[in-house]
Amino acid sequence: MASDEELVARSAGGDLESFNQLVLRWERPIYALAYRVIGREEDARDVCQETFLRAFRSLSAFRGQAKFSSWLYRIALNLCRDWIRRQKRTPLVQAPEGVDIVELAGEQGPVESVDELVARRDLGAIVARAMVALTDDQRSAIVLKEYQGLTFQEISDLLGCPLSTVKTRLYQGLAVLRRELERQGIDAEMIARELGRREAAHRHMLQ
């Protein structure tokens, strides 16, 4: 399988099929990122399409100083922020019925029972609604780290801020989520299972 870098080089040389392969490889993660940030399916699809359109138009400017995926994420995040400013409203960040964003992004986990799957989706929707309480910076850090799987260094490079700032935003965002979920009366054990491990790990990194 060709690497992203190889496909980018071919695409820059006019090979449309190579760019189509890049789209097929990255459209689901980019859509998941856009949806998680702005919370509206139709607008997330528009952002996803515009991300690849802008990437195609700017291929000649891509120098490979960052990973192609990080470059795409940066374009998508900028488009999401433009959308939020243009609409002048808080993103919904709300999962539609029957849609699991982690699965949509192509991640695969262990086989679950129906009860386990329903419980996880219900909690996921509650967490998504609670994310409205986060600042844009906190939300971006959590989405990129916890849902898109980027490393702290990749997020730092993508957002153009120090590594310590990324870690602080992530820890503070997870702490806000915990408070919001507790305020909604979510069982403490369930919160701990979903957020506690990650929050504790990030707190340790900040010490």
* CA–CA–CA angle 119, 123, 124 (5° rounding): 115
Fold of 1-92: Rna Polymerase Sigma Factor; Chain: A (1.10.1740)
pTM: 0.60
The CATH number corresponding to 111-207 among 3.30.420.250, 3.40.50.880, 1.10.10.10, 3.40.109.10 equals 1.10.10.10
Cβ-contact 176, 142 below 8 angstroms = no
Is the pLDDT at 197 greater than 70, yes or no? no
The token duo for 108 is: 């695969």
The domain limits of the chain are 1-92, 111-207
Q: What is the pLDDT of residues 64-110, one digit of tens each?
A: 777 888 889 889 988 988 888 887 655 544 443 444 434 444 333 34
> Concatenated DSSP letters for 8-63?
HHHHHTT-HHHHHHHHHHHHHHHHHHHHHHH--HHHHHHHHHHHHHHHHHTGGG--
Q: What is the pLDDT of residues 106-160, one digit of tens each?
A: 333 343 344 444 455 556 666 777 777 888 888 888 888 877 778 888 888 888 8
Question: Which helix (H) or strand (E) element contains residue 173?
Answer: helix 163-183
